[in-house]
């Protein structure tokens, strides 16, 4: 009976939206690979195709894996908090590592374009810096033993806000990069509804759809992870120590 009362039921529509987000995310990754394979000659770690690693790694790391990391607390609603934290942090680490593998300047240098002049480049640098700082501060507050409970409680809303904001910036940066790549490659032909342009436009819509579904799941208050019994006890004990309330006064 105690364990049954402890585990909250999963809201009926949540699994459907999570499944939709995964379907959109995997489709985005597959379509990015198809776009590069059909119209850009594929990808390679060396040689002329090395720059094609950039968009694929960005989509896998800073879009798909980052989105999944944000959904961890919605998907694993009844798991131990420590386990969920570690999984959340590891997915962010994998996303950051995959993104850092990218040769950011490869495309521009091989095509003879200047670096760091476009809005896409500036947004990309901003996303990298904010993403790294967000992970570093979150690791310090929530995974390193010794961080005080009141500090964690005060920082948690900011952590959630900046996490969603950085994800939104990542999606926007990817869309800017997609448009920039099409203009570089197609130029005036982009307006002639070339097959590559149409495919890339569909890819952009799917990117936006994935971001929208993830953010919708995150903003549904009734889909938030319910506090477990031990977490409620810890919160009540802290309130007793700091405010003099008795656990039974709430």
Going by C-alpha positions, the residue among 91, 89, 109, 85 that lies closest to residue 184 is 109
Mean pLDDT score of the chain, rounded to an integer? 81
Per-residue pLDDT tens over the stretch 112-168? 556 677 888 889 889 999 999 999 999 988 888 877 788 888 899 999 999 999 999
CA dist., res. 232 & res. 193, Å (int): 57
Domains, the chain, with CATH or none = 53-224 (1.20.120.1770)
Q: What is the pTM of this model?
A: 0.81
CA dist., res. 160 & res. 69, Å (int): 12
Longest dimension (CA), the chain: 72
Question: Could you give the percent of the chain with pLDDT greater than 70?
Answer: 78
Confidence tier at 72 by pLDDT (50, 70, 90): very high
Per-residue pLDDT tens over the stretch 11-31? 789 999 999 999 999 999 999
Q: Sign of the CA dihedral 131, 133, 136, 141?
A: negative
């Amino acid at each position: 009976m105690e364990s049954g009362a402890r585990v909250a039921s999963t809201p009926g529509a949540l699994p459907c939206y999570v499944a939709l987000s995964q379907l959109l995310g995997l489709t985005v990754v597959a379509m990015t690979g198809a776009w590069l394979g059909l119209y850009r000659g594929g990808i390679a770690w060396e040689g002329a195709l090395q720059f094609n690693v950039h968009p694929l790694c960005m989509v896998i790391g800073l879009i798909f894996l980052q989105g999944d990391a944000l959904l961890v607390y919605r998907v694993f609603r009844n798991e131990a908090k420590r386990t969920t934290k570690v999984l959340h942090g590891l997915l962010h680490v994998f996303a950051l590592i995959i993104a850092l593998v990218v040769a950011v300047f490869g495309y521009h240098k091989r095509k003879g374009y200047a670096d760091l002049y476009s809005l896409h480049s500036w947004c990309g640098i901003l996303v990298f810096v904010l993403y790294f700082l967000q992970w570093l501060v979150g690791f310090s507050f929530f995974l390193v033993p010794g961080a005080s409970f009141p500090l964690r409680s005060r920082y948690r809303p900011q952590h959630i806000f900046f996490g969603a904001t950085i994800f939104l910036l990542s999606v926007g940066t990817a869309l800017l990069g997609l448009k920039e790549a099409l203009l570089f490659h197609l130029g005036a032909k982009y307006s002639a509804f070339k097959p590559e342009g149409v495919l890339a436009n569909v890819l952009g819509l799917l990117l936006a759809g994935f971001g929208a579904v993830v953010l919708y799941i995150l903003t549904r208050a009734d889909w938030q992870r319910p506090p477990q019994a031990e977490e409620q006890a810890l919160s009540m004990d802290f309130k007793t120590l700091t405010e003099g309330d008795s656990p039974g006064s709430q």
